Amino acid sequence: MSKGSFPRAPRRDGVSGRPGGRATPLIAALVALVAAGLAGWLLWDAGGGEDDSAKRPVAATSAATSRAPAAPGPSAAASGPRSPSPSASGTTASPGPSAGEGAGVADGEAPRADGPLKGKVVLVDPGHNIRNSEHTAEINRSVDIGTGRKECDTTGTSTDAGYAEATFSLDVAHRLRTILRNQGAKVVFTHDGERAYGPCVTERAAIGNKAHADAAVSLHADGSAVGNRGFHVILPALVKGGAADTAPIVGPSKELGARIAGNFVRTTGSPPSNYIGGGTGLDTRGDLGGLNLSTVPKVFIECGNMRDPEDVGRLTDAAWREKAAQGIADGITDFLRG
């Protein structure tokens, strides 16, 4: 982590920066489909693909040699204790993940009555929490993700200038909520900046499950080495252990991820990752509690690399973040409408 950013806590549930898996015929086909554009993505075979349930190592993060541009919003460099700030609904921060377990934050405004997503429920999970760095003991505690144990949550990453991933993810979440609401969907957040920390990855999954979400997406930005750039969507591997059983959601989650990836390329102009997924913009993992414990179709999206100056130029631009939200929303809409 660079100067002026969060202290490096154990890495977050969803960080990548790992070498991609071995190539398969499906991966090769998907590379061609990305090059062909959105139409190709819509031919994705939700039942195909090689399961990847092994945890892969995280590559070392390299600090950028040039300073990244700052962006509006709370800085990860803020020092000293902060009092819980009001949420959008006017409530103050809860004491932590135990409060309202599995309840989530319901959209305060009614969705459009005649939209194409009328009757659909979408779970939006803004990655991390800007206050996590003030509660390291709580977020570092171990939780059961079915196939093992991981930290409750982590601080996430940031740009060299201190623009936090947690700030980015919540901003995109708000934009995404507005778009989906206008399409008629009911939107549930895992949190809306109102909590003192977290929620834990286990609760993030539980909130989507309790809401019976038709689709769920967790919003992130990566913290990899300079030169690693582009977005990728993380799909759940086929895993079973303890409370984890992804068998019912692997197929639909792959379809959801492929449609989000195709629309993200088209809408943002951002390329698929050049370091994860073999050029497809898709990666499969079995070590993420937010996916392992989900019983509804769910994916993570790493919208870019906060340590690469080229990607930082996109991530810190409000107009690009609006495009990112639109691309994700279009992918969700395509998936829900079949």
Q: What is the pLDDT of residue 145?
A: 97
Confidence band, pLDDT 50/70/90 cuts, at residue 112? confident
Point out the catalytic residue in the list 151, 194, 203, 302: 302
Q: What is the pLDDT of residue 104?
A: 75
For residue 10, say if its preceding peptide bond is cis, omega within 30 degrees of 0.
no
The reply to whether 322 belongs to the active site is: no
Q: What is the pLDDT of residue 222?
A: 98
More confident residue, 75 or 317: 317
Of 24-38, 126-140, 194-208, 315-329, least confident by mean pLDDT is 24-38
Distance CA 338, CA 332 (A): 10
Q: Within 13 Å, how many C-alpha atoms sit on residue 108's CB side? A: 8
Q: Domains (ranges, CATH) in the chain?
A: 28-52+102-337 (3.40.630.40)
More confident residue, 221 or 53: 221
Q: What is the pLDDT of residues 126-151, one digit of tens each?
A: 999 999 999 999 999 999 999 999 99
More confident residue, 50 or 197: 197
Q: Which two tokens stand for residue 146?
A: 């079915």
Q: pTM value?
A: 0.74
Distance CA 43, CA 58 (A): 31
* pLDDT at 289 exceeding the cut of 70: yes
Are 143 and 149 in contact by the 8 Å Cβ rule? The answer is yes
Q: Are strands 282-285 and 142-144 parallel, antiparallel or unpaired?
A: unpaired
Confidence band, pLDDT 50/70/90 cuts, at residue 103? low
SS3 101: coil
Q: What is the pLDDT of residue 86?
A: 32
Q: What is the pLDDT of residues 68-85, one digit of tens each?
A: 333 333 333 332 333 333
